[in-house]
Amino acid sequence: MTLEEARANLTALQQKLTAYKHAIGLIYYDGVTSAPKGTAGNRGQTLSVLTQELYLLTTGADTVSLLEFLDSQREDLTTRERRTVTLMLRDIREMQSIPMEEYVAYQKLLVEADDVWHTAKETNDFALFEPLLTEIFATLRRFAGYCAPDKDPYDYWLNQFEEGATRESCDQFFATLRAHIVPLLKQVQAKPQVDDSCLHGHFPVEQQDQLSRLLMDTMGIDRNHCGLATTEHPFTTTLGSLYDVRITTHYYEDNFASSMYSVIHEGGHALYELGIDPELAYTVLDDGVSMGIHESQSRFYENILGRSRAFTSYLFPKLQEIFPEQLAGCTAEDFYRAVNMAQPSLIRTEADELTYCLHIMVRYELEKAVFDGTLAVHDLPAAWNRLYKEYLGIDVPDDTHGVLQDSHWSGGSVGYFPSYALGSAYGAQYLRKMQETVDVDGCLRRGDFGPINAWNREHIWQYGSTYTPAEIFQKATGEAFDPTVYTVYLEEKYTDLYDL
């Protein structure tokens, strides 16, 4: 095999992998957006076949010898090719470590678990979900052992979502956050609460849908390449390679801000995916590099931009056009304060910017404990409730509003949650750097996302997975990650808001 032949084979292989991932991704997407309720069986069956084919394709002898050949020619490869070979060989070695039947059985388990989790959440029945969740944790621990026998199994999963993250780095990171956020929240709680009545009322789905489209257009999201659907738990997915992104939201007719900030959050993910260099299409680099960097975009748009005084002052008159009666008595400043009301609450996705990371810490501590074996899945609800009391000071009334609220565990995404907090913190450093060359507040007051998107495209989006998260962060900000930039941002914002 010559290097040119190997390159051609690598291109063809990546196109094939993309096709399987497109099909698998679409089957999941269909399952949570349009599929009738009783149809999980067919999806499970089909996913087990397709994941098996994907497994065989990824670990087949032809693939392995191709990648090993390319690896032996590293010095003649481009930066992108080297990174491609590194990532693909890592995936191959991990997949080879997991027996195929276990891998396929796990994909089937996830389909069933998603179905059962929905029912369990609806009916507040953790016991129904418990055996599946037990099986998921056991499988993940086993898989970590296969793939990285020398590594702590939870470290293995943290690293899957944020390359480089460990229990140790996360413990430190969360300790810093906690040291600043807990006293800040106490100060806030000692002050009179803001009035958020402008967010409440009746907001018909049709008008909320109109708002979603307005937000997507305002953010500069190309709706020819980004769809919007509704689902239980909002998320973003890319189908195929670049240029087919789907975001989802969930409308509550008594609170338009919930969907509004879901759309902005998912819109941040979508912009990232849509901003990747087209030359990376149909390669393994054509995707956001990690969940931490991905969340750094979604939460940057949602909070740092979307909940800023500058942006809300731009948006408010447009909101009044969409909801003229409901918002008749409010001002832009009322709205700004309402969407930034800090208050311990039950639901992570509805949490304000200040308390959000406390929700993450609960999940992080529980995941660690289950992986350690110091907490049984059976005891998760009690432990969840205890930590919500300890970190947020509130009582959890039932598991629907507690341990069953998120879809992550039923989807096998254990180790994912810390990336929300990491991403939130990364964003504060981007902002500081971006402000050196972009009049961020001025842009937001005009509703002009162009220069902001251009900065993100240049420094983050375009690279896809070409560099590691730490490399991208360093290139974008010119410095190492420092969570105190985020805590300072929070302190300044809430000091102003609550007149501390």
Site of tokens 């919007």: 228
CB of 220 to a second copy, least distance (A): 15
CB of 66 to a second copy, least distance (A): 17
State yes or no: residue 50 binds a second copy (CB under 8 A). Answer: yes
DSSP character at residue 98: S
Q: How many residues bind a second copy (CB under 8 A)?
A: 42
Question: 36 or 329, CB closer to a second copy?
Answer: 36
State yes or no: residue 53 binds a second copy (CB under 8 A). Answer: yes
Asked if 203 contacts 253 with a C-beta cutoff of 8 angstroms, the reply is yes
First to last CA, the chain: 69
Residue in 7, 22, 178, 180 binding a second copy, rule: CB under 8 A = 22
* Cα–Cα nearest to 170, from 393, 318, 367: 367
Question: 76 or 222, CB closer to a second copy?
Answer: 222
CB of 213 to a second copy, least distance (A): 12
State yes or no: residue 224 binds a second copy (CB under 8 A). Answer: yes
CB of 460 to a second copy, least distance (A): 23
Q: How far is residue 398's CA from residue 400's CA, in Å, rounded to a whole number?
A: 6
Give the distance from CA 230 to its chain's centroid: 17
State yes or no: residue 223 binds a second copy (CB under 8 A). Answer: yes
Give the distance from CA 121 to its chain's centroid: 21
The catalytic site residues sit at 266
Question: 30 or 68, CB closer to a second copy?
Answer: 30
Which neighbouring-strand residues pair with 228? 247
- Residue by residue, DSSP assigns 362-395 as HHHHHHHHHHHTSS-GGGHHHHHHHHIIIII---
State yes or no: residue 246 binds a second copy (CB under 8 A). Answer: yes
Helix (H, G, I), strand (E, B) or coil at 314: helix
Binding range to a second copy, per CB under 8 A, among 88-96, 131-139, 234-242, 456-464: 234-242
Q: How far is residue 148's CA from residue 156's CA, in Å, rounded to a whole number?
A: 7
Q: How far from 226 is each of 35, 171, 232, 282, 454, CA to CA, in Å?
A: 20, 37, 19, 18, 18
Binding range to a second copy, per CB under 8 A, among 22-30, 95-103, 181-189, 434-442: 22-30
Residues 26-45 within binding reach of a second copy (CB under 8 A): 26-27, 29-30, 33-39, 41-43, 45
Q: How far is residue 446's CA from residue 296's CA, in Å, rounded to a whole number?
A: 23
Residue/partner pairs of 178-181 with CB below 8 Å, 24 or more apart: 178/358, 178/361, 180/484, 180/487, 180/490, 180/491, 181/354, 181/355, 181/357, 181/358, 181/487, 181/490
State yes or no: residue 227 binds a second copy (CB under 8 A). Answer: yes
Residue in 1, 8, 15, 478 binding a second copy, rule: CB under 8 A = 15
Q: For the beta carbon of residue 202, count every other beta carbon within 10 angstroms.
A: 11
State yes or no: residue 123 binds a second copy (CB under 8 A). Answer: no
State yes or no: residue 16 binds a second copy (CB under 8 A). Answer: yes
State yes or no: residue 229 binds a second copy (CB under 8 A). Answer: yes
Using N-to-C axis directions, what is the helix angle for 126-147 and 356-372, rounded to 10°?
A: 70
State yes or no: residue 63 binds a second copy (CB under 8 A). Answer: no
State yes or no: residue 105 binds a second copy (CB under 8 A). Answer: no
Question: 174 or 272, CB closer to a second copy?
Answer: 272
How does strand 245-249 pair with strand 226-230? parallel
Residue in 1, 3, 8, 49 binding a second copy, rule: CB under 8 A = 49
Binding range to a second copy, per CB under 8 A, among 241-249, 253-261, 330-338, 419-427: 241-249
Residue in 128, 167, 277, 282 binding a second copy, rule: CB under 8 A = 282
In this structure, what token pair is assigned to residue 481? 């990650």
The site string for a second copy over 193-222 (x = CB under 8 A, - otherwise) reads -----------------------------x
**Contacts with a second copy, residue ranges (CB under 8 A):** 15-16, 18-20, 22-23, 26-27, 29-30, 33-39, 41-43, 45-46, 48-50, 53, 222-227, 229, 239-244, 246, 282
